[in-house]
Amino acid sequence: MLSARPLPEEVAAFLAELEGADFVETLLECVRPLSHGSNYLSGNISLVCSAFQSREAVILLLGAIEKTVPLGFRVHDVDLAETDWSGRVLDGMEFVNCDLSRARFDDAAIREVAFQNSTLEGASFQNAIPDSVQFDYGPRVFGATAVVEALRPHGVTGIEGEKEVLEDLARDWGDHVTQLIASRMRRFYVAGAGGSKGSKWDVSILEMNLLGGLNQFDRRFAVSKLIPGLVRGGVLSRVREHGNVVYRLNDEAKDDARRLIEEEEISGLIETALARLAVG
């Protein structure tokens, strides 16, 4: 059952109310080691363990699940001081009202993480700058430069790595944002019979089409940062037509978009928008 379908949070909470503290250890003994697979087992087990809201349950889970398995569950109201998350893959983890003082995230691959009303004093992020982070239910922050600045006031360590490393991370993020902009411009682009010759632009496209083909991380960035940034920068316009939200590529940005798509050249309004977006 635990490997067949996603487990509702309510069911996990109900199990935690029914069972004693030793249930987690018994459950993990039955399924360990938890590794990659095509089913929902690791996610459901993580959900059940976190529902017990205990330090012991989380530590037992970390001991049973292989470090290469992505972790993306919510844990709340737990003392996790000095716990070890190093070398893990964190994609969608959310810590709510948790004490993560002196926790270790070194060498972790952190795609998305959220710290809601949680303490991070002395937590180590050596070689583990998240791609995206959220604090206290505020705006989600993207990109190495902005993430480091967001982490700094929380007293974490390990984020002041070598200047070259941070510069490389910032450059990689800029390249990624450029690719995202190009892929969104292609949503308006209609190639001619001979490729670029005779090409034209769609007048407008639905919001769902503008967001099409994105993974969860990129979609979240596009909705919260990328598309609003392109609208503010004069590249796109957002209007309502017949009750639907649609986007239009502004005439002033069409030459810039064509150069980006056909020549991979960044210019004009798109260059200005990219400069703002690439730093988060």
In this prediction, residue 34 carries a pLDDT of 78
Domain boundary at 105, 139, 161, which? 161
- Are both 84 and 123 inside the same structural domain? yes
CATH of the domain at 266: 1.10.10
- Tell whether 58 is covered by a domain: yes
Q: Domain check: are 181 and 239 in the same one?
A: yes
Q: What is the pLDDT of residue 167?
A: 83
Residue 4 lies in a domain: no
State whether 193 and 129 are in the same domain: no
How many structural domains compose the chain? 2
| Domain final position from 161, 188, 212 | 161
- Which of 105, 128, 161 is the last residue before a domain boundary? 161
Please give the mean pLDDT across all residues of the chain. Answer: 90
* 205 part of a folded domain: yes
pLDDT tens-digit series, residues 201-212: 988 999 999 999
Could you read off the pLDDT of 67-79 as tens digits, one per residue?
999 999 999 999 9
Question: What angle (nearest 5°) sits at the alpha carbon of residue 84, between those of residues 79 and 87?
Answer: 145
Residue 2 in any domain: the answer is: no
Q: 273 is in which domain, residue-wise? A: 165-277
> What is the number of helices (H) and of strands (E) in the chain?
11, 10
Is 1 a member of any domain?
no
pLDDT, tens digit (0-9, with 9 covering 90-100), for 216-240 = 999 999 999 999 999 999 999 999 9
Same-domain check for residues 148 and 207: no
The CB-based long-range contact list for 117-120 (8 Å cut-off, 24+ gap) reads: 120/151, 120/154, 120/155, 120/156
Q: What's the confidence (pLDDT) of residue 74?
A: 95
65 and 188 fall within a common domain: no
- 95-134: pLDDT as tens digits: 999 999 999 999 999 999 999 999 999 999 999 999 999 9
Same domain flag for 92 and 218: no
pLDDT over 70 (residue 193): no
Q: Any idea which residue has 């929380």 for tokens?
A: 154
Alpha carbons 264 and 83: distance in angstroms, whole number: 45
Inside any domain, residue 249: yes
DSSP letter at 89 equals E
Residue 241 phi, psi (nearest 5): -130, 120
